[in-house]
Amino acid sequence: MNGRSKWLRRGSILSALTDLEQLPVAAIIADRDGRILQANDHAQMCIGSSLRRIRGLAFWQFFAPQERLQSALERACNGETLTDHHIFSRRDHHPFSIHLGPTGDGHISLLLIPEKDRLETEAFYRHQERTDTVARIALEMAHEVKNPLTSLRGAAQLLQETLHGRQREYATHIVEDADRIRQRIDSFLQLGPRANIRKEAVNIHRLLDDVCRATPAVRVRRIYDPAVPELPLHASRMRQALENLWHNALEAGSDEIELQTRISSLIRLPDYRGMVLELRFSSNGEPVSPDMREHLFEPFVSGKARGSGLGLAIVQQVVHEHHGRVMFRADGPLSRFILHLPMNPKETSACAC
């Protein structure tokens, strides 16, 4: 069971619903006849009406099919906690997954997840599990290579000091090649998980300005939300992620880059409640081919002839270390990397990293 499923199962019990407004999803408390007693802002937005207008009405007046919902309500009244992925809004016919369960005080709790959000979350966990597996295997191999590589370099360096002529030249080449391999391994080891990374208050705008410096060949446009406070970040790791995005844009031939930040209470991250910083990194370089987009953050995947395929994988790892999410979107001629970072990681329950 993934982190979000665990949270939803806990969320269907009222111990997690004592304050509906803290939940990042639509939440409703109904009586045993299905009449709405409480609904948070997300639920009121889904229904399209205020709590004052919907209180006392059966929730299947706003969601369908009624028979499925009444059957689910009956089972929840008998103590079951269940999920149904075949519910839709009567107002706009948008599909939802609904999670019902008893609250412990005789009422019924309902959580409503838009189907789009559910599918994105499931894809997030599948992708993370796949990339973590690849990275774990490769990291073990990288560690195993480092020791014999060190011995090989030491032996070549010793020969370099004792040989002459062409033989010394060959030994020099071995030392140089060993150094290049070691540098690649050290770069790859940045993909390794960093547990309990130490964070400090960081001005994200100042960090962006320091990394993304305009040049005669590159114009940088900044749209910063002045309300963004200092964030708890691992400064050097986040700098590395931003540098990778910057170099990725330059290598794609971008001459215009836009940096945008905003605070949102509507963006939902797995296992997190609270405000989220959205950072959009947009560039106009060579577009990413459609067949590459789903694999951009996987290790060793690169659309460049000389690319290592590690830059964006490291970006994803760093964002995961901060309990966030990174996505790619093609928007016409622009390539957008969208980072979502929790502004208060203390509100993160089960780490998605």
Residue 336 scores a pLDDT above 80: yes
HSE-CB of 278 using CA atoms within 13 angstroms: 16
The model's confidence at residue 227, banded by pLDDT at 50, 70 and 90, is very high
Task: Name the residue with tokens 């609270």.
Answer: 274
The model's confidence at residue 106, banded by pLDDT at 50, 70 and 90, is confident
Q: CA–CA distance from 324 to each of 99, 133, 204, 230, 338 (Å)? A: 25, 19, 15, 16, 11
Q: Which residues contact 137 (CB under 8 A, 6 or more apart)?
A: none
Q: Give 68-100 pLDDT, tens digit per residue.
A: 999 999 999 998 888 888 888 888 888 888 888
Amino acid identity of residue 203, one-letter, is: N
Domain residue spans in the chain?
A: 3-114, 120-191, 200-347
Calpha distance 101→78 (Å, rounded) = 9
- Among the CATH numbers 3.40.50.1460, 3.30.565.10, 1.10.3210.10, 3.10.150.10, which is that of 200-347? 3.30.565.10
Calpha distance 315→312 (Å, rounded) = 5
Calpha distance 175→179 (Å, rounded) = 6
Q: Give 151-175 pLDDT, tens digit per residue.
A: 888 888 888 888 888 888 888 888 8
> Strand, helix or coil at 64?
strand
Query: How remote is the C-alpha of 192 from its chain's centroid?
Result: 17
Q: CA–CA distance from 273 to each of 7, 24, 43, 135, 209 (Å)? A: 11, 6, 16, 29, 29
Calpha distance 131→353 (Å, rounded) = 11
3-state secondary structure 130-194: HHHHHHHHHHHHHHHHHHHHHHHHHHHHHHHHHCCHHHHHHHHHHHHHHHHHHHHHHHHHHHCCC
Calpha distance 4→352 (Å, rounded) = 9
Q: Give 229-261 pLDDT, tens digit per residue.
A: 999 998 888 998 999 999 999 999 999 999 999
Query: Between these two residues, 15 and 220, which has the higher pLDDT value?
Result: 220
Calpha distance 33→76 (Å, rounded) = 11
The number of beta carbons lying within 10 Å of the beta carbon of residue 86 is 12
Query: Between these two residues, 9 and 137, which has the higher pLDDT value?
Result: 137
92: tokens are 């706009």
**222 touches 255 (CB < 8 A):** no
> Strand, helix or coil at 263?
strand
**82 touches 73 (CB < 8 A):** no
Residue 16 scores a pLDDT above 50: no
- pLDDT (average), residues 126-155: 70
Give the whole-number percent of the chain exceeding pLDDT 70: 75
Residue 341 has a pLDDT of 94
Residue 349 has a pLDDT of 45
**249 touches 285 (CB < 8 A):** yes
Residue 214 has a pLDDT of 85
The model's confidence at residue 328, banded by pLDDT at 50, 70 and 90, is very high
Q: Which residues contact 167 (CB under 8 A, 6 or more apart)?
A: 159
Residue 74 has a pLDDT of 92
Residue 256 has a pLDDT of 95
Average pLDDT, rounded, for the chain: 80
Give the whole-number percent of the chain exceeding pLDDT 90: 31
Residue 104 scores a pLDDT above 80: no
Q: Is 106 left (phi over 0), alpha (psi -120 to 50) or beta?
A: left
Q: Which residues contact 188 (CB under 8 A, 6 or more apart)?
A: 138, 139, 142, 299, 308, 310
Query: Between these two residues, 327 and 5, which has the higher pLDDT value?
Result: 327
End-to-end CA distance of the chain: 15
* Packing angle, helices 3-11 and 115-162, rounded to 10: 150
Query: Between these two residues, 189 and 305, which has the higher pLDDT value?
Result: 189
Residue 300 scores a pLDDT above 70: no
3-114 and 200-347 agree in CATH topology: no
Residue 130 has a pLDDT of 64
CATH superfamily of 3-114: PAS domain (3.30.450.20)
